[in-house]
Chains A and B, each alone.
Chain A
Amino acid sequence: MDFLNDIPWMLIAASIAKTLFLIFGVVLPIVSYTVYAERRVSALIQDRLGPNRTGFPISLFGFEKDLQLFLGGLGQPIADAVKFLLKEEFTPAHVNKFYFWLAPVLAMVPALSTLAVLPFGNYLFGQKMVVADVNVGILYVFAIASIGVYGIVLAGWSSNSKYPFLGSIRASSQMISYELSLGLSAVPVLLIIGNLNLSQAIQYQIENGWLLLPFTDGNLTLRELLLWIPVLISFIIFTISMFAETNRLPFDLPESETELVAGYHTEYSAMKFALFFLGEYAAMIAGSSVIVVLFLGGWHIPFLPINTLESSTTPAGIALGFLHITAFFAKVVGILLFFIWVRWTLPRFRFDQLMKLGWLYLFEIALVNIFITAAILALVK
């Protein structure tokens, strides 16, 4: 039984603990409350109120009234989840059953898998707060994120119905178009950082200031100022492409309600639909996390001390570790709110406009941007 000793049990246990914390402790609650935020913010933008009645259902346990916290309606995600779980799991007769059931899973799994390489905090309890600190970090993110389109394509195809089919065709062409500018706009960042590992990306930003806000390390050199221009262009293109990748408005053509009923998930209901829905929001979280890691310094808070491996088990270190995790997810939530804000501001693009924007503008700008960055890096020391 020697091989048992060779298995790094501690590493496995730590990884599982981190995964459980990340998925069930942070990401899924954020997903469900993003849906709530989406409804509330959209309502407020349109001069309505949104769901403000549902409390936490403590009246089930014999209390007089449901618990209403400061905003009201905070129990809505729980009610939604229970509704989705209890609805009839209906599969239409005309669909390809196997792929019809596989598609929602394929929409959810890649979105959650991308989170594995994202460093969501500094050292805590002697552990680095990233599930898998792999050296191909950002490549892994792009590779897995683009698998997400298979869920949509399979859903549209297996539904055997025209609107889902059109939706999935749109999704695939859109995702392929924007994958290019997404990847190319990340290249200048990688040129500057000189590393694919996302933990190293954050380390670079701690030492030299966040890429988008280069003064966060306290000084601003000419080189940083010059590099700031391509980074800003990169950031804008990356964010726009991320909107298209996650099928958010103004690029939500795969599910445009006015044209395609509900797009690729027309034939879906109950928990299978919920998986698409949650997958979309989980993909948003993954995308926002990548933006935060690449441009906004990840978990780093300027002018605060940083845990080392040794100090992360002391009480002060534990507090600091949790503070850094909070900082990371606060930044992510900020980006998510921006996503929501944009969604309720802009109308949907026409499909030819979408393609034109992707292929004729973003792609070229991203390509030129790489050369600008390279030139600055080579010429300005």
Chain B
Amino acid sequence: MATATTELDLNDPRRRPPLVTGEQDLHSITETVSKIAERPKPPRAWYVAFAIASSLTLMFFSLIGYLVYEGTGIWGNNSPVFWAWPIVNFVFWVGIGHAGTLISAILFLFRQNWRTSINRFAEAMTIFAVICAAIFPGIHVGRVWFAYWLFPLPSTDLAMWPNFRSPLLWDVFAVSTYGTVSLLFWYMGMIPDLATFRDRATGKIRKMLYGIFSLGWTGSARHWSRYEIAYGLLAALAAPLVLSVHTIVSFDFAVSQLPGWHTTIFPPYFVAGAVFSGFAMVVTLMVPAREFFGLKDLVTMRHLENMNKIILATGSMVGYAYAMEFFIAWYSGNGYEQFAFVNRAFGPYAWAYWTMVSCNLLAPQLFWFRKVRTTPWMMVVICIFVNIGMWFERFVICITSLSRDFLPSSWGYYSPTKIDVLMLLGSFGLFFTLFLLFCRYLPIVAMSEVKAYLPDAQPHGDDHH
């Protein structure tokens, strides 16, 4: 029934389709979303997924323990490739996070109301991705117990300060600010919905926990007024922030003088890639989630199609950047730069380069077809390809440039160790563990926001508008 309505709405260009389908009212939205977290037992698939994800998480943390004890020698990092998988994984995860902030902040500022059903979900993804991302540079320092030296803390025994002209320090500030602001944004958006959970809670523990975390929210008009202003301000702050984060991540590379890294296209190219991979991850997670949790009326095909259009757009931007890199390498007349790019496409890592191109540039082009954009399994397959491709993009950037720089006598070929592979897998485990817990215990759709955009939700004929 719901699908039929969706198709009809989507196909009729004269009508602006409603954001939610299936005769929703205030109470039915509350019911649909709250039931997910209130069910005494989640679906069997949840248990299976959680068992796998939490085992991987456990493995991840055991490996981190091993790393702390044994040192970074357990990784494949070695001369000349000292920035290997840990940095690739870091950039990959930070990029994934960007879609969440983009959906919640930038689409909010542009009054793209269709974001309301998916923003909570995407923001949660941001937080979890940033957690996964922050772990990698943290453990990459080797002596993890000195990681606090990254921050400008006054210290009597060190008697020195970090170098503020280093992009790596900018990165520390950018990623920690990004994580903090995303968390505030996510939590603040959740307060009214946590209050809904509190008011529906039956068990004592649930009542207490949701009660504490909803901070005594009453839905007062005075509170809503300040809340909306604060939310708008946070969105306005988060929008440039999200652009700055991947810009600064790209500075880690672009500010160095390595051929293939030292290019001015990196900031916009990285941001487009981040949005691209982030949206792909949202779709990858959203399609099964709306299936399992019965959210098809709140997260409609229109939402998915819009996201697929964004993936197509950003994917093409990324493809343009690939082409432009080659053009600039030729146009610069710099032999090292030219070699770096010829080496990428036809050198020992050509397999990685062409994996990247086919996953990132070619796969999303299928989204030109409406059929592909609106068929759940097809979009999931393409989005998984995009995620693989975006991981390889960072691999190509990081590894090919480092493995063959100016001096042929110092060239090398990088191979990861088993630990590298297991740690990447483990970070996925952590991400999905957090995600499954989120689906089980927290409001996965912003109920109060969806309610505010229902037809007839707002009073008519008053002078405020």
A binds B: no
